Structure 1
Amino acid sequence: MSRIRAAFHDPEGTRYGIPTFWWKGAPPGYATRRQLRAAGLRPGGQPVAAQILWRGVGGTRTAYLYRVELARPKRIATPAQRRAIDAALTARRTCRVCGVVRPYCIPRSLGECVDCAYPEGVAP
């Protein structure tokens, strides 16, 4: 085992407070939030079960691990919530001046679409 791996190997949690493993060294049954999300799961309120430490740009990096068997299925938005999200996103794309729904979000700095803000077609 290399010195870097040995520095981050603490499966009992005596050095770091929780079980700690090196990069790609966690045993099966643990997953990060992204891995849970990819599997259609969420942590479901459980505390962090372990961590992974590795040396990266800017110092030591950390990834928290959760137990897969305690994870719950992801919640799905209701039809009413989906309608509300669609309405909010449409409002962000609608120009207040001309009322046209644009294929991009209206810049908050302008408060109107680019065509209304720069009618000559010349942006500063």
Structure 2
Amino acid sequence: MGTATRYRAAFNDPDAVRHSVPTFPWNSAPEGLATRRQLRTQGLRPGGQDIAGQILWRGVGGVRAAYLYRVALALPKRTATPAQLDAIAKALRARRTCSTCHTVRSYYIPGRYGECLTCAGKEQ
């Protein structure tokens, strides 16, 4: 039995005997279950439903997990209101405005300087 087989067997628990939820190894989730990222690509969100399963794999720093949700219970993604979009635009503009010369720059003002690169004397 190879290392990959032992690894997949350690994370294969579809009946939730060893783990608190059904657990699957990488690339082995059954149809009808999806991660948040997979739901998002379909224009969906979990919508408050409980976790239906998890995928476990060995990654940087140890064992990693991705939670699975039922696609059938997922809800459409919400869209931002015009007021929310306006607030985001104002916040992003504030991040580009120098506190010293009040110029709106094409880049975000570095936090370490607190002012644009010209005022900080870092621009060449």
TM-score by length of 1: 0.89
Rounded Cα–Cα distance in structure 1 between residues aligned with 2:99 and 2:7: 57
Partner of 2:64: 61
Pick closer, same or farther for the CA change 1:9–1:95 going to 2, 3 Å: same
Unaligned runs of 5+ in 1: none
Partner of 1:13: 16
- In the alignment of these two chains, the number of paired residues is 121
1:101 offset after TM fit, Å?
0.7
Partner of 1:95: 98
Partner of 1:25: 28
TM-score by length of 2: 0.89
Q: Which amino acid aligns with 1:86?
A: A
Rounded Cα–Cα distance in structure 2 between residues aligned with 1:69 and 1:22: 22
Over aligned residue pairs, what C-alpha RMSD do you find? 1.7
Unaligned runs of 5+ in 2: none
Partner of 2:41: 38
1:8 offset after TM fit, Å?
1.3
